Amino acid sequence: MSDKKDFEVPCVVSRRSLQFSSKGTQRLNLGEVIELDVMTVSEEDVERKICSLYITREKLLAVLDLIEPASYA
């Protein structure tokens, strides 16, 4: 079984993260809907949800494909 942290994408400069659901919620004409929560951690180490987003897997993958890889210096 997967750990909750397996579905988390942490920010590299803040204490925020994207927490994805472990499965798609439904399939619509737009594509497969995935729920994700934008999370933060307070100075007291208390995790808090900022908001929820419902996006499609297809759009997320399409946008990631458009981002050029960083060059190595």
List average pLDDT for each run of 10 residues in the chain, which is 73 residues long: 79 96 80 94 94 95 93 78
The answer to the question of residue 8 being in a domain is: yes
Q: What pLDDT score does 47 carry?
A: 94
Q: Which domain holds residue 33?
A: 4-66
Token pair, residue 64, equals 């990631």
Q: Residue 66: what pLDDT?
A: 95
| pLDDT on residue 1 | 52
- On whether residue 71 sits in a domain, the answer given is no
Evaluate whether residue 29 is within a structural domain: yes
Contacts (Cβ under 8 Å, ≥6 apart) of 28:
56
The reported pLDDT for the residue numbered 23 is 72
- Total number of domains constituting the chain: 1
Q: Is residue 73 part of a domain?
A: no
